[in-house]
Structures are given as C-alpha cells and as structure tokens.
Chains A and B, each alone.
Chain A
Amino acid sequence: MSIESDKPAGHDEARRTFLKQSSLLTAFTMVPGPVLQAATYELDEKVAAAFEKVPLRLEVNGVKHKLSVEPRTTLLDLLRENLNLTGTKKGCDYGQCGACTVHVDGQRVNSCLSFAVMHEGKKITTIEGLTNGDKLHPMQEAFVKHDGFQCGYCTPGQIMSAVACVREGHAGSEGEIREYMSGNICRCGAYSNIVAAIQEVKNGGQKV
C-alpha cells in the first residue's frame, strides 16, 4: 500500500504503518516507549519527525558536514535549502536539464536525481567549491571571457559539466564537446559561446 493512496482518510493509517515498519531500524528500538507511542499516535509530530531522519556525513567543497536528513531529501535540495549553497540550480528536478550538475567524488552527476543519504562519506564539489579563494577556476574565467551565458541560471551546471567534460577527455573536438555537453540545457541559447569557452580551456592546457 502507498501513503499517497486515494483514500482521503488513509494517511493516519499509512503513517502508523510507516512508523511500525520503522521499528525495524535499530535506532527506533532505542526510543523510550512513551515517545514511540506518542509518535505512533501522532500526538507529537515533531518527535515522530525526528525519527524520520537519518544521520549523514558528507564533505562538501572541502568542508565536512555531519547532518541529519530525511531519506527523501535529494542532494540538490540538501545543498540549496540546508547548506545554503544555492549556486547549484533546480531547473527541472527530473534529470532533464543539467542545471543541478555537481561533482561526486570527481564525477559529474545530476544532484536532483539522487537522495543525499546515498552519498554517505562522499566528496561533493559544487560551483562554490570551484573557486580557489578569490581566484576563479580557468573554466569560470573562460565563461566570462566568451560570454558563455545570459541569464546565468544554467551556468553553474554548465561549468561543472564543462570541467568534467575536459577532465574525462571528452572535449577533443567541437562535435564531441557539443555531444558531451548536451545534458546541460541553456534556454538563452549561449551554446556557441560555451563551446568556445571549453575549447579555450582545453587548448590552454591549464590544469582543470
């Protein structure tokens, strides 16, 4: 059965089911009886909510975080809402635009399509972590120089993807860049300029 069932009054029941099932979790067995009961009967949603969260350790842009998150929180929402790293953008929330691209252990991924808890112990790099102090990353410099954006909303994702594209060795030609950057949509249509920026970085030989 599903919590999101059509039954109008089904939620209470569903929630109790959930909480009962949660008792499989070791953490839950350590909860004192009255609290468990309160939670089960929704006398205190806050108490209940506390047990819907799980611990999570992440390293984001070199900073280690010990967090407590709902398993349903995506990496994207965690970054934007909990860690206030709003440089990573939400453009579709379904892995269809690339605005949310970040690096997980150095690989580019769509942060909207994975739950934060799945990244336990991993290293996340966002656009905010690409800058070295005040110094822009060569890809950021190239985007400014070649005007690789207009509104700027897809830009962090484009840049994170572009850095990965060069690192992966998929920036060998204009055609290859266009194919391997196609996961990042720019509705303003700055594609020609983005490709120029990537080519400059690729050909410049700087460390990316």
Chain B
Amino acid sequence: MKEQAQNKQIGAPMDRVDGRLKVTGGAKYSAEYELPNMAYAVLVGSTITKGRLTGIDTKAAEKAPGVLAVITHFNSPKVPGFDTAGKDPSQPATVGGPLKIFKDDKIRYNDQPIAVVVADSWERARFAARLVKGQYAPEKHKTNLEANASEAFLPTAAKKNPKHPMNDYQRGQVDAYKTGAIKLESEYVIPTEVHHPMELQAITAHWEAPDRLTLYDKTQGTLATRRDFAKEWNLPEENVKVIATFVGGAFGNALHSWPHESAAIIAAKVVNRPVKLMLTREQMFTNVGYRPYTWQKLGMSATADGKITAITHESVGQTSTYEEFTESTLAQTRMMYQSPNVTTRYRLASLDVCSPIWMRGPGEATGAFALESAMDEMAHLLNLDPLEFRLRNYTEQDPEKNKPWSTKFLKECYQLGAERVGWNKRQLKPGSLRDGEWLIGYGMGVGTFGAHRGAATVGAQLRPDGTVLLQCATTDIGPGTGTVMTQIAAETLGLDPKKIRFELGNSSFPKAGTQGGSSTVNSVGPATQEACLALKEKLRTLAGAAFASAKKEDVTLTDGYLALSGSPTTRVAYADLIKQGGDKAVTVEAKPGPEGQKYSMYSFSVHFAEVRVHELTGEVRVSKLVSCADAGTIINEKTAGNQMKGGAVGGIGMALMEAAHIDDRFGRYVTKDFADYHVPVHADSPDVQVAFVNQPDPHVNALGTKGIGEIAIIGVAPAIANAIFNATGKRIRELPITPDKLI
C-alpha cells in the first residue's frame, strides 16, 4: 500500500514507547503504588516438608509493635471459593489445583506459607514474622526425583484421554533404535531451575468495597488472575480489577496464581486496609514455581550415511503432590527430524515440593537439551559435521502431523548462523583448537516452538486531540508489547506513532490471553490491526460523500484530519467527526482462522556457540553466541533482537550455572539466593549476535508473525554443551556444566 510505504512502521527499529518511564524510574511495578493507609504483609513458611501443622504460636508476633494481624489456618476467614471453585482453565495442572492457603493443616512442601503477618511497616512485619513459631507433626517426605523415579506415572489427563498429547507417542516401530546398526543411548539431567525475574513477586491488594477488589499484581495475564480471584471470593468477575501495567520480568512464573496472592487478599480483608506483599528472594525458590528437575533418556540409531532411523525419547519430570504439572518436553523430538521410527514416553514423579510452572521455552528447552545433545553425539559417532547431519535429516513437512509447514526457513537460519559464528573453523576432532590454556570448540543447537495464536480484542478510539488510544488487557513482561502494537497501529492508520497510545495491563480493557507461549504478537497484533482498520472504516463512513467512494486503503489519519492520499484537499477535521460520534471506541476481536487445521505452524531457531574451556580450571567462557530465527515477520528488529539476546543469555545460565539444590534430608533448598543460585552476569555474556530470516508466515495471521520468546532459549544450552564437547572431548549430560565437571 502506498501510504504504508511512506509510513513504514512495521520492521522499523523504533525505541520503546515506555522507554522513558523505564529509564527514569517512573514505571510503577506492583509494590510501588501508593495507597492511603497501606499495610505490609510478610509470609511465614513451614520448616518441615510434609506433615501436619499442630499449632502455631503467634502471641509474640501479635504483641509486636505495629502488628495489625497474624493470619493462619487457625484463624483465617473462610475463602468461599476454596470450597466451590473447581479446576481452573487458567491453571496448568491437568489434575489437582493450586494450593489453597490456610485452608487446612496439611504441609505439602517446605516453606509452604503457614502464616501471614500484617503490620504498618515492612520492618515491623518482617520482625514479627520471625516471632511466629509453627508446631508440626512431621511425616516422611520425598524430594528426590531419581530416588522416586520408579513411581513415575503417566499423567492422569493422558490416562483419561487417549488423544491427550502427554500420551505415549509412536510412529513406526517401538524402540526401533535398539536394533539399529549405529546407535547410542544416553541419559540427561536438567536440575531444577528457577525463573528469578529481577522483580520479586509482589502484589498490592485493596478491597475498595466488601465485594470489590483491586489487585496491583505481578501477573502475565490480568484476566486469568481476575478469574482466579473472582472465583476464590465468589465475586462477579467485573468486581475484581487486576492492574499489571509494568511487570518486572516473569519468564513464566506469573502464569499461575500462587498462595502469596491469596494471602495478600485475605490479609487486606482482615485488616480492612490495602495490603502490600513482596516475596523474599528465598521465597522465590519455594513458592512461585520453577523449571522442574527432569531426567531423560534418548536412544537414537542412524545409517552410516547419516540418516536417522529411529529415536526413542523418554522423560520423567518432577511435579508436586497436589497438582500434576506437565510440559512439552518431548514435542520437538516428534517433529524436528525425518526419522521413520519415533517413540516418546512422558512420565511424572510426584514429590513433596511446590508445583513447577512453565519457565521460558518450557518443556521444549528441557527436551532440546537431550535431543540436540544426542544429535551431536550421533554426528560424532558418524564422523559427520553436526550441521551436515541435521541437513541430512531435515523435514520438509511435519512428520508428526503429516501436514505441510505453514513456513519453515530453518535451513536459511543454519546458513546465516554458521557464517556468523565461523563454523568453518570447527574441527571434527574434539580438542583440536586451542589458544594457550584455553581449548576452543564450536557447537550448535536447534529450537522450535509452536506459533500459537489465540483470540484477542483491542479497543481503538479517536481522541479530541487527534491521537488514537488503543487498549487491551494483555500484559508486557518485557518484550515490548506496547511498542510493537503502536507500530502496527501506526502503519495501519497511517498515523505518526507519537500520536498513538497503546494501553495494556488492566483487566478492564478488552480481552486478551496471558503473555506466554510466544503468542502475544501473534494474537494481539492482528487484533490491533483489525481494530485500527475498523476505526478507519468508521471514520470514513462518518466523513461523508467525499470519502464514500474512496478506496479503504487511501483513507489515512493525519495530524488533525481524516485525509485521502493523493487528494490533499479532501479532508475532514477530527472535531467534525467527533461531533458525529467519531470518538466512540471501536472494539474488535480477532480470532485464529482455519489455517491451523491445514498447516503445522512453528517458529524455528538455531544457536551457534563458540566456547573457550580452561584446561586446568575447567572454567567455560562463551566467546561467541549467534542466534538465528525464523519467527515470521519481525515487527521491531530492536526489541525482537533484544529478546533473542536475552534468551541466549538465559541459555548460558541453563548450560553453565543454574541449579537449585534441595538437601533431601530436610527437603529444604540449600540454594536460597543469588549467591548460591547463579544467573549470568555481564561478564558471562558475549556480544550476542542475532539474525532473523524475517519472512512472513501468511497462515498464522495477516502480519506474518510466528513468535520469538521461547525459541530464543530453546537449543542454546545444548549448543554450548556441544561446543564444550568439541573443545574438550568431554560430553556432559547433566546441567549445569560447572568447572568441577570439566577437570
């Protein structure tokens, strides 16, 4: 379209619309709203792992200065929905449900909240919280996956429904790899990893009336959170308002409603004041989910000329005793390579731990560590370049669903990445390259994630000042949702992006799904586009005769007027349109079409790593990391590139340092903070290079997007592990790859 060429916003590296607020400290997160008469809440956790709470001594805490209430299972007001609410669709559990705080005396995991102390300042609440002492009747607990792997089971949802994706999968012969000529069988372990967004999980709960609740909450879905807490309190959804204008990172851990949120709401009810609750870093390990400890076994066979003949991939993931959390650990294995025989088996082990929750690149990142490591192992067995091995097993259509890909430009990604990392320097023989004491190696890992799209609704409104206001309940945990939606709107309307405001993070706005599964731009993007088109169409109708016969695409919004491109004199002032009702919001819902039935829709990525491993100390430095993605249309190279870089850094953490350890004797984490649980710092990150194929996918939506967030991390950890093998000849199959494993 002509005017779009003049006003090309999609693809432009626009600065973030909320950048100024974020660099000045003006962006307000959930614990930063000032409400009159604020009270502060601190959770007290159980010090046993399993058993019963026989009593709690709260006397000292209650008498401590400034304490307003100490709420426990013994005195908590009844939460009506705890008895009536069924399983919630917003919850990931296939069986069971979230922990109902203070509902009973059962202890299900260590540091489970047993009390919430409310006081008139943080200092006083924290002090009083230490005075609360639980009395317990402990029972024998289980916190170790491997020790309990023999009790692993098929998820209940799969047992009930033979079509459920967590069922065993089979194409060709069962476990055919066992009879293959060239075969391997390896076990892999991913430890518990914790999301640890920089913002501690926080909520400010305010009962504005006995039946009207406002929550300033760290959530990835304002509507899911609204639904959960409306249910807990048996309130009509419209009586609950959830505000999450800014979310200080989440990576999945705000996809679920957690006990601390219920605690803050109960506390606000009891003290009849707004209550602010912020978890400690220790509680971020114990009460808001994690990537589950997962054991995997992968068997693979291939022909001497490098064709995979069979893969069997099994996994056992950790879940809690009260919720069956499942994730798509084995999905990539079923569709990534052209193997005639594939078997997958997914099992769970219930332990006395808090429920896990999807963490960036959820199960796929876990599964890809096994699959992509095994690909490297097989390439090595075959004496083949791992890139060449992958090309020989490239799939031109989805071998799992037997459908064509909507689009797949993974080969192009391979090429881009290999060039940038300098793959031609890689030697087939491990340990061939060195620089002094540093051994140098190259590795690659592939990632994929479904290009998910859900229904979304956006409201668009022309304002008297000539700006357009867009609203949607979606959230932004960091990727730059408001920015890319502004770009989509600007291009669709032909309007300067500075004249557009996209508001989000409020459950009162038009509906959208949670921000997760790389689906936001796929879903909210087209809704924004369609809402803008509808707004334009409405204004055109109001604009009268001169516009009646005009082509839709010639109508454009300019500074102060609705105008016709190519006819500068034909224009109508917004003021005149507004007089006729032009300022009424247009709300449009955009839904996925039937294309999903015809095509298999995935984003793809490949990551290439160059590592340096110190031969004496075993330290690893990732000296180069190149991430290439086929993610459809890139709306904003700057923010999309940043998201890819962030995933790569997350992958460095996964590969080299992240692990949360429980001392099984106590059932307590020995990793409690950032001194014990390491996440990458500046010095761990190379200057990550990103390249996008940037080819639109015409089947996911009209914008051509496929999603970035997950594929940014999926495949990074094996790329690094494979590079370490290439450098040292050491194959490490248990993450993280710390120096002790390499000396």
Contacts and interface: CB of A to CB of B under 8 A. Distances in A.
Chain A in direct contact with chain B (Cβ < 8 angstroms): yes
B123 A77 contact: yes
Contact of B248 (A127, A130, A153, A174): A153
Nearest to B649: A189
Given A45-B65, A151-B246, 14 more contacts: A11-B61, A45-B66, A70-B123, A81-B121, A86-B29, A88-B25, A127-B23, A128-B24, A131-B24, A185-B681, A187-B679, A191-B682, A192-B645, A193-B642
Interface of B: 15-16, 18-29, 31-32, 34, 57, 59-61, 63-66, 121-123, 127, 130-131, 133, 196-200, 246-251, 278, 280-281, 477-480, 638-639, 641-643, 645-650, 673-675, 679-683, 685-688
B396 to A, nearest CB: 33
A92 B673 CA distance: 8
Interface of A: 3-4, 6, 8-12, 42, 45, 48-49, 52, 70, 72-73, 77, 80-81, 84-94, 96-97, 99, 126-128, 130-131, 136, 140, 143-145, 147, 149-156, 159, 174, 177-179, 181-195
Contact of B645 (A6, A85, A154, A189): A189
Contact of B123 (A73, A89, A151): A73
Nearest to A11: B60
A153 B198 contact: yes
B685 A189 contact: yes
A167 to B, nearest CB: 18
22 contacts: A8-B59, A49-B65, A87-B26, A91-B281, A92-B281, A93-B281, A136-B20, A145-B15, A149-B19, A149-B23, A150-B479, A151-B199, A151-B477, A152-B18, A152-B248, A178-B685, A186-B649, A187-B650, A189-B650, A189-B680, A189-B685, A191-B688
Given A96-B675, A99-B198, A152 B24 contact: no
Contacts of A152: 18, 21-22, 27, 246, 248, 478
A195 B547 CA distance: 51
A164 to B, nearest CB: 14
A195 B687 contact: yes
Q: Which 8 A-B pairs have the closest CB atoms?
A: A87-B25, A189-B649, A153-B248, A189-B646, A152-B22, A150-B478, A151-B478, A11-B60
Nearest to B132: A8
A126 B26 CA distance: 12
A1 to B, nearest CB: 14
A153 B15 contact: no
Contacts of A4: 127, 130-131
A12 B62 CA distance: 11
Contacts of A182: 681-683
Given A4-B130, A8-B57, A184 B682 contact: yes
B614 to A, nearest CB: 16
A97 B688 CA distance: 22
Contacts of A49: 65-66
Given A10-B60, A81-B122, A144-B19, A190 B198 contact: no
A12 B63 CA distance: 8
Contact of A187 (B34, B60, B249, B675): B249
Contact of A144 (B23, B247, B675, B683): B23
Nearest to A86: B32
A152 B641 CA distance: 16
B480 to A, nearest CB: 7
A83 to B, nearest CB: 11
A150 B23 contact: no
A11 B64 contact: yes
Majority secondary structure, A binding face: loop
B516 to A, nearest CB: 14
Nearest to B248: A153
Contacts of A77: 122-123
A12 B681 CA distance: 45
A191 to B, nearest CB: 4
A8 B198 contact: no
Contacts of A42: 63
B500 to A, nearest CB: 18
Nearest to A152: B22
Nearest to A130: B24
A179 B123 contact: no
Contact of B198 (A73, A88, A186): A186
A28 to B, nearest CB: 16
Given A89-B198, A151-B248, A190-B642, A96 B673 contact: yes
A93 B196 contact: no
A128 B29 CA distance: 15
A159 B24 CA distance: 9
A94 B64 contact: no
Nearest to B713: A189
Given A42-B63, A77-B123, A91-B200, A195 B25 contact: no
Contacts of B638: 147
Contacts of B246: 151-152
Contacts of A70: 121, 123
B682 A151 contact: no
Given A144-B19, A150-B642, A192-B687, A90 B674 contact: no
Contacts of A99: 198
Contact of B682 (A85, A153, A177): A177
A90 B40 CA distance: 15
A149 B478 CA distance: 8
Given A49-B65, A193-B642, A8 B19 contact: no
B66 A128 contact: no
Contacts of B16: 144, 147
Nearest to A151: B478
B238 to A, nearest CB: 29
Given A81-B122, A151-B199, A151-B249, A94 B29 contact: no
Contact of A192 (B61, B280, B478, B688): B688
Given A147-B15, A185-B674, A94 B281 contact: yes
Given A42-B63, A136-B24, A188-B478, A97 B642 contact: no
A177 B31 CA distance: 31
A204 B280 CA distance: 40
Contact of B60 (A9, A97, A154, A178): A9
B276 to A, nearest CB: 9
